[in-house]
Structure 1
Amino acid sequence: MASVTQLRAFHLVATAGGYSQAAREMAVSQSTLSGQVRQLEAASGLALFERGPRGVRLTEEGTALYQVTSRLFSALGEAGDLLKSRRTDGGRLRVASDGMVHSLPILRALRQRRPNLVFSILLHNSDNVLEQLAQFRADVGITAQRPKDDRFHVHPLTAMKLGVFLPKTHPWAQQRSVGIRDLEGVPFVLRERGSRTREVFEQHLAAHGVVLGDIIEVSTREGVREAVAAGFGMGATADLEFGFDSRLHFLQLRNPTLTIEEYVVCLDERRRVPMIADFFDCAVQAFAPPAQLCLSDSEAA
């Protein structure tokens, strides 16, 4: 029968992607972790990792077990936090988000409620945010991809206007908006597929029969920004995510105005965990329209 120690060793190696990295992160010897995983494989009769010269990767059975251990150690962590202290001014939270712009206002509000909060932010495209939640690698998610199954608890957060951006030296840099048909044949720098911004943008192009020029794919939002600033093409982004860059200029897409919805998401079975419930409350607080905030204040009075 598998022991918790063996399962934890397996989980650490699977999470880190290899024995040496897991050993460094946990400050234990690589031989200790390797021995515990071998004992687990021997006891179960299953090969959990495929070993090669460049490290290890999960087998089909290992992937299935990792889904179970992710739930197990997430629950053990929550139980430990609860038993360690009855205080509610701290705790640990893992946030998976498709960008920083929505995460930080919520975490700022949450830290006012929990001054000793410790958190981490994992940046992914919209599709991968949901995967991180499903694999118990994150506690809450912020994503433009609304889940289609009932495993997830979802709350609408805000809506952003879609547009394009270009270098300030571009002839269009004096404009405030651009029509979708004006983009015919224009070279673009886009995020990888799985980005909700790219998905909405390309759907709109197809609906109007617009074909872009050459497309360069870049895996990060910052990489897209740098490539556009260097003159490789225009980029697509939402107004709230554009921020400020003295090298670049944002143009809203018109006819009609395109919007991208953003959502706060968690696994439905975890929605009542106090930390996660607080995060959802702070999300409402951070992105409530001014009129709603005024109404809440008057009702509280």
Structure 2
Amino acid sequence: MTESRATRTGTLHIMADSALHVLKILARFREKYPGVGVTISQGNTATVTESLFSYEADIGILGELPPSRDFETVALNSSPISAFVACGHPLAKRSTISFSDLSGLPLVMREAGSKTRKKFEEAAAAKGFAFAPAITAEGREAVREIVASGAGVGFVSAAEFGDDPRLRRIPLEDEAQMMMDETLICLRERRGGKLVSAFLAIAQEQANEMESDG
């Protein structure tokens, strides 16, 4: 009875590296379980997994799976890393951009340990390029605001770019080497909980629909 009541009046705690990846799932979940409260916090891979292990979060969304068999997973999407600039930037009218185009330009990057930054740097190194950021900012929103001010070129997965009239996304020529995979995870031991199970079922349903459309 307690778990049955949970799907009517419980609370689901989600921690995500970006809430954008879970918005459609969340909308379906709220439509089906309108009485359930949802809290969403932001964190990187380390904080997401720590929150799951400490039971502070029920569901995690992240771009890099931790090396553990303790998790149940649902693959959400995969999208390339793109460059982005302010609309008034000289590169704003380019249809694509290469690593050589970025040489000598001020780059705005996430903090060390960011999956986006790591993927970009590894792909650049494979082509013989090494980039040092002119500005390092902690968090996706901080990078976005700095780039919007015209201070440099930023990088983000295409799925997380969103809609911002101040910014222009520019695909990278080597984007196939810089794919960001987003995955929903939960502790395997909590998979049977009513709220967690309901959310995972909706996530898997959407993932199956996307695969069919693809």
Same fold (TM over 0.5): yes
| Alpha-carbon distance in 2 for matches of 1:274, 1:181 | 51
Contact map agreement 1:139 1:266 (CA 8 A) in 2: yes
Q: Which moved more, 1:204-213 or 1:97-106?
A: 204-213
Q: Give the Cα–Cα distance (whole angstroms) in 1 for the partners of residues 190 and 66 of structure 2.
A: 16
Quickly say closer, same or farther: Cα 1:274–1:83, change in 2 above 3 A.
Answer: closer
User: How many residues were matched structurally?
Assistant: 212
Q: Per the alignment, in what secondary structure is the counterpart of residue 203 of structure 1?
A: helix
**2:179 alignment partner in structure 1:** 259
Structure-2 change in CA distance of 1:195 and 1:246 (3 Å): same
Question: Deviations along 1:172-203, whole A, 9 cap, x unmatched?
Answer: 11122212232223221112123211111111
Per the TM alignment, residue 241 of structure 1 is displaced from its structure 2 partner at its CA by 0.6
Secondary structure of 1:116's match?
coil
Instruction: Say whether 1:284 aligns with 2:204.
Output: yes
Q: 3-state DSSP class of the match of 2:92?
A: helix
1:236 to 129, 136, 155: 155
Counterpart check, 1:149 vs 2:68: yes
In structure 1, the residue corresponding to 2:186 is in which secondary structure? strand
Q: Which runs of 5+ in 1 are unaligned?
A: 1-81, 294-301
Return closer, same or farther for 1:225/1:276 CA change in 2, 3 Å cut-off: same
On the 8 A contact 1:126/1:145 being kept in 2, the answer is: yes
The alpha-carbon distance between structure 1 residues 145 and 113, as it changes in their structure 2 partners (threshold 3 A), is: same
Equivalent position SS for 2:7: coil
Determine if contact 1:89/1:113 at 8 Å carries over to the other structure. Answer: no
User: After TM superposition, what 4+ stretches of structure 1 lie above 6 angstroms from structure 2?
Assistant: none
User: Which is greater in Rg?
Assistant: 1
Code of the residue aligned with 2:180 in structure 1: it is I
CA positional deviation for 1:114: 0.8
Q: Which amino acid aligns with 1:203?
A: E
Give the CA deviation at 1:225: 0.7
Q: Give the Cα–Cα distance (whole angstroms) in 2 for the partners of residues 205 and 234 of structure 1.
A: 15
Identity %: 33
Aligned to 1:166: 85
Rounded Cα–Cα distance in structure 2 between residues aligned with 1:103 and 1:158? 10
Distance apart, 1:290 and its partner CA = 5.1
Matches within 5 A, 1:1-301: 83=2, 86=5, 88-257=7-176, 258-289=178-209, 292=212
Report the alpha carbon displacement of residue 212 of structure 1 after superposing the two structures with TM.
2.3
Q: How many angstroms apart in 1 are the aligned matches of 2:121 and 2:210?
A: 33
Deviations 1:258-289 (A, max 9, x none): 31111010111111111111111111233444
Could you tell me which runs of 5 or more consecutive residues in structure 2 were left unpaired when the two chains were aligned: none
Shift of 1:87: 6.4
SS at match of 2:91: helix
Cα distance, 1:163–1:217 mapped onto 2, change above 3 Å: same
Contact 1:184 1:213 in 2 (8 A): no
